[in-house]
Amino acid sequence: MGEGVLRAVPGPGRDEGTDDPLMRDLVGAALRRARLRQGRTLKDVADRAQVSLPYLSEIERGRKEPSSEVLAAVCRALGLHLVDLVGALHSDLSTPWTTAHRSTGRGGRHGRTEALLLAA
């Protein structure tokens, strides 16, 4: 890893408004954006990934954190490579994560993220 990539996380007294998003929120939002851009239903993607529809819905809403196996299956069902998803997450993390992003399931630079996911 290059220098300056890893940053120290402030301790217990840190400002509440500067919390980083949870990975499950970012992953869920990126998967949902990819699915919606493809015009696919939750049922279609869940069936292709061989996961339950309620579980995929929970993943997309950031309520469940998928295992690497489930994440790989959902990416395959969406025709994505893991590098596309990771690139989208990087883009999302490059932009401040606000309460508005959390409530809408949208994080980051939508155009760039969508382009990365659509390029798969």
Residue-range domain boundaries for the chain: 23-94
Query: What pLDDT does residue 21 have?
Result: 84
Give the tens place of pLDDT for each residue, 47-62: 999 999 999 999 999 9
* pLDDT the model gives residue 110: 42
The pLDDT value given to residue 17: 55
Instruction: Give the per-residue pLDDT at 84.
Output: 92
- Tell which CATH classification among 1.20.120.530, 3.40.50.300, 1.10.260.40, 3.40.50.970 matches the domain 23-94: 1.10.260.40
Beta-carbon neighbour count of residue 8 at 10 Å? Answer: 5
Mean per-residue pLDDT, 11-33: 78
* DSSP secondary structure of 2-63: -TT-S-PPP-TT--GGGPPPPHHHHHHHHHHHHHHHTT--HHHHHHHHTS-HHHHHHHHTTS
DSSP state of 13: T
CA proximity to 109, closest of 36, 44, 26, 41: 26
pLDDT tens track for 34-43:
999 999 999 9
Q: Is residue 97 very low, low, confident or very high in pLDDT (cuts 50, 70, 90)?
A: low
pTM for this one? Answer: 0.68
DSSP single-letter state for residue 24: H
What is the residue-averaged pLDDT of the chain?
78
